[in-house]
C-alpha cells in the first residue's frame, strides 16, 4: 500500500507540473541532432535488463505565451514536477542520487542536506564565462534561485582551485547574519558530499577529510559588520573604534541584531541622549533616527519629506555614494567630512536622487542638523565607519595591499568575492570591496532591488556597472537575470 501511495504522489506531482508556465524541450529524435550531445538511447545493461531511455534536456527554458508554446517536430515539452499538495504551488527540487549520495545516506553519520541538481538556466549561470574577464551581476526576485547559483558557482570555483593545487582567498559577504550562516552550511555540505563521491568512485583517491581542512584553506563567510570591524583592526591608519567600543559592538551583535536592538530602544521610549551616556559611542540606525526626527529634526514647520526619504538620501547619496568619498581630491580630508557638498548633491541626476531641487535643499539642511546632533550625542552611523575605511584604503597602493597579506592579514587581498543581497550595500561599500580584491573583474554580486533589509539604501544595478566602468579599467560586469520564481505562484507574486 505504501508503494502504491508513493506512485500516486509521483503521478500527481507530474500532472500538477504540467500546469506550470515554465518548460524545456527534450528531443525524441537524436539522429536529427548528430552534432549535439542530445541522446535518446534504448540501452540494455550487462544483465540483459532494459533500462529507460535517456533524453537530454535543452539548456533553454521557455515560458508559455512567448511565441515558443508549441514544441517542434520530434521534440516534446518537459515540465518539472510540482508539489502534490494542492495547497502548495512550488516545483520540486531534484537531487543527484549517485553512489556517493547513497553511501552517505546509508552511513547516517553526516547531519547534512544533499546538494540538489540545478536546472538548465541555473547551470548556465553557475558556469558562465566571458570572453574577457568580467565580474558578474545576477538580478532576480525572491525565490528565483540567486543564492543557489552563488553557492554552486562558489563551490565549482573552489574545487577548480584545489584541482590546480592553488589556494586563493575566496570571500562571501552579506548583510544578513542568518543568510551568511546558511550559505556557509550549504557550502560545507557540498564539500562533505563531494568527498563521499570521490571515495565511492575511486576508493584509492586521496581526498582530504573536509573536517580536517583548515579554516585558512576554506573561504571566509562574513557579514558586512564583521568585515568592516576586521578591516578597522588590520588596516594601517587611525582606527575608527576604540577597543572598548569594538568589544561592545561584537557583544551586542552576539546577543541580538542591531535592528532588533534599535526597535527595542524606540519602543521602550529611551531618549537618544540617554542611550550613550558613559558607555561610548552608539551606532545610529533608522529606529534611532526616527526618534531623533520626531523630537529634534523635524521642527515645527510642515515638510514635504518624511523621515524615511531623508534617511535614504543621507545613507544612499549624501554619505553613501561613491562621489561622497572624494577619492583623490584631498587625501588630508577628514574621514568624518567625506560627504557630498550641497552643490554636489544638487548636481546629482534625476535617475539617482528622485527629489527636486527644493526638496534636496530641505533634505540637506536636515542632514547638516543631523550630523551636528549625532556628534554631540556621541553617535556614529555606518557611513562614518565606511568613510574611515575608504580613506585608509585609498592611501594604499596595490603593493601595500599585497604586503599586508605577507604580514599575516588573512582578509586581504581577496582573489574571488561573492556578495548576496547586494542591494543592501551602498556604493561606497562596494567601492571598498572592489579595491581590496586582487582582480575587480572576479566578483559575483547577486541581488534584488525589490527586497532590502537595510533601511535607506537606494540601489540600482546600473550604478554598480558604472562604478566598474569609471574606476576599474572600464570593464562593465555582465548582467544576468533569473526571471522565473520557483517559490511562489503567480497569484502570490501579483500581491
User: Among residues of the chain, what percentage have pLDDT more than 70?
Assistant: 65
Residue 442: the pLDDT is: 86
Name which of 97-101, 186-190, 417-421 the model is least confident about. 97-101
What is the mean predicted confidence (pLDDT) over 189-193?
73
What is the mean predicted confidence (pLDDT) over 124-136?
85
User: Is 395:331 a contact under the CB 8 Å cutoff?
Assistant: yes
Residue 259: the pLDDT is: 46
| Among 356, 351, 354, CA closest to 312 | 354
Name which of 103-112, 302-311, 386-395 the model is least confident about. 103-112
User: Is 38:56 a contact under the CB 8 Å cutoff?
Assistant: yes
Kindly write down the DSSP assignment for every residue of 198-254, as one continuous string: HHHH-TT-----GGGS-GGGSPEEEEHHHHHHHHHHHSSS--SS-HHHHHHHHHHHH
How many whole angstroms separate alpha carbon 482 and alpha carbon 495? 20
**399: pLDDT strictly greater than 70:** yes
What is the mean predicted confidence (pLDDT) over 215-234?
89
What pLDDT digit, counting tens, does each position of 334-386 carry?
A: 555 679 999 999 999 888 888 999 999 999 999 999 999 999 989 999 999 99
Residue 30: the pLDDT is: 46
**74: pLDDT strictly greater than 50:** no
What is the mean predicted confidence (pLDDT) over 200-215?
56
Residue 403: the pLDDT is: 87
What is the distance, to the nearest Å, from the Cα of residue 224 to the centroid of all Cα atoms in its chain? 11
Name which of 127-131, 252-256, 491-495 the model is least confident about. 491-495
**Which residues, 6+ apart, have CB-to-CB distance to 278 below 8 Å?**
none
How many whole angstroms separate alpha carbon 260 and alpha carbon 287? 9
Residue 486: the pLDDT is: 60
pLDDT tier at 210 (50, 70, 90 boundaries)?
low
Answer positive or negative: Cα dihedral of 480, 483, 488, 493.
Answer: positive
Residue 34: the pLDDT is: 42
Exposed e or buried b per residue across 3-37, where buried means at least 16 C-beta atoms within 10 angstroms of its C-beta: eeeeeeeeebbeebbeebebbbbbbeebeeeeeee
What is the mean predicted confidence (pLDDT) over 38-62?
58
Residue with cell 553613501: 320
What is the distance, to the nearest Å, from the Cα of residue 177 to the centroid of all Cα atoms in its chain? 12
**9: pLDDT strictly greater than 80:** yes
Amino acid at each position: 500500500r505504501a508503494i502504491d501511495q508513493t506512485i500516486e504522489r509521483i503521478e500527481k506531482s507530474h500532472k500538477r507540473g504540467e500546469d506550470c508556465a515554465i518548460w524545456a524541450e527534450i528531443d525524441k529524435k537524436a539522429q536529427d541532432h548528430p552534432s549535439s550531445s542530445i541522446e535518446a538511447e534504448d540501452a540494455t545493461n550487462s544483465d540483459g535488463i532494459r533500462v529507460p531511455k535517456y533524453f537530454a534536456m535543452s539548456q533553454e527554458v521557455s515560458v508559455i505565451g512567448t511565441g515558443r508554446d508549441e514544441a517542434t517536430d520530434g521534440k516534446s515539452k518537459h515540465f518539472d514536477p510540482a508539489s502534490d499538495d494542492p495547497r502548495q504551488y512550488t516545483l520540486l527540487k531534484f537531487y543527484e542520487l549517485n553512489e556517493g549520495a547513497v553511501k552517505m545516506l546509508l552511513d547516517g553519520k553526516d547531519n547534512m542536506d544533499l546538494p540538489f541538481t540545478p536546472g538548465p538556466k541555473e547551470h548556465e549561470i553557475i558556469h558562465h564565462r566571458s570572453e574577457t574577464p568580467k565580474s558578474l551581476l545576477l538580478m532576480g526576485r525572491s525565490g528565483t534561485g540567486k543564492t543557489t547559483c552563488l553557492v554552486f558557482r562558489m563551490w565549482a570555483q573552489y574545487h577548480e582551485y584545489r584541482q590546480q593545487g592553488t589556494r586563493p582567498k575566496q570571500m562571501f559577504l552579506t548583510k544578513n547574519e542568518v543568510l551568511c550562516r546558511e550559505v556557509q552550511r550549504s557550502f560545507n555540505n557540498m564539500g562533505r558530499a563531494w568527498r563521499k563521491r570521490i571515495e565511492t568512485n575511486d576508493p584509492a583517491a586521496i581526498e582530504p577529510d573536509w573536517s580536517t581542512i583548515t579554516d585558512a584553506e576554506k573561504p571566509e563567510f562574513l557579514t558586512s559588520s564583521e568585515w568592516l570591524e576586521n578591516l578597522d583592526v588590520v588596516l594601517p591608519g587611525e582606527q575608527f573604534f576604540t577597543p572598548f567600543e569594538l568589544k561592545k559592538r561584537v557583544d551586542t551583535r552576539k546577543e541580538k541584531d542591531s535592528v532588533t536592538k534599535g526597535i527595542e530602544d524606540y519602543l521602550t521610549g529611551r531618549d537618544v541622549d540617554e542611550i550613550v551616556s558613559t558607555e561610548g559611542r552608539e551606532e545610529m540606525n533608522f529606529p534611532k533616527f526616527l526618534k531623533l526626527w520626531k523630537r529634534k529634526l523635524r521642527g515645527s514647520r510642515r515638510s514635504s519629506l518624511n523621515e524615511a526619504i531623508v534617511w535614504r538620501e543621507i545613507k544612499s547619496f549624501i554619505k553613501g555614494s561613491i562621489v561622497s568619498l572624494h577619492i583623490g581630491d584631498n587625501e588630508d580630508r577628514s574621514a568624518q567630512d567625506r560627504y557630498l557638498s550641497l552643490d554636489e548633491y544638487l548636481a546629482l541626476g534625476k535617475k539617482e536622487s528622485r527629489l527636486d531641487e527644493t526638496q534636496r535643499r530641505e533634505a540637506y539642511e536636515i542632514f547638516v542638523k543631523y550630523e551636528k546632533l549625532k556628534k554631540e550625542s556621541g553617535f556614529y552611523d555606518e557611513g562614518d565607519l565606511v568613510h574611515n575605511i575608504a580613506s585608509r584604503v585609498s592611501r594604499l597602493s596595490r603593493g601595500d595591499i599585497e604586503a599586508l597579506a605577507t604580514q599575516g592579514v588573512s582578509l586581504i587581498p581577496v582573489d574571488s568575492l561573492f556578495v548576496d543581497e547586494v542591494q543592501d550595500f551602498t556604493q561606497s561599500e562596494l567601492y571598498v570591496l572592489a579595491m581590496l580584491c586582487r582582480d575587480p573583474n572576479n566578483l559575483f554580486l547577486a541581488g534584488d532591488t525589490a527586497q532590502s533589509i537595510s533601511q535607506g539604501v537606494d540601489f540600482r544595478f546600473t550604478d554598480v556597472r558604472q562604478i566598474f566602468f569609471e574606476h576599474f579599467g572600464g570593464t562593465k560586469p555582465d548582467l544576468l537575470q533569473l526571471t522565473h520564481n520557483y517559490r511562489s505562484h503567480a497569484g502570490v507574486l501579483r500581491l
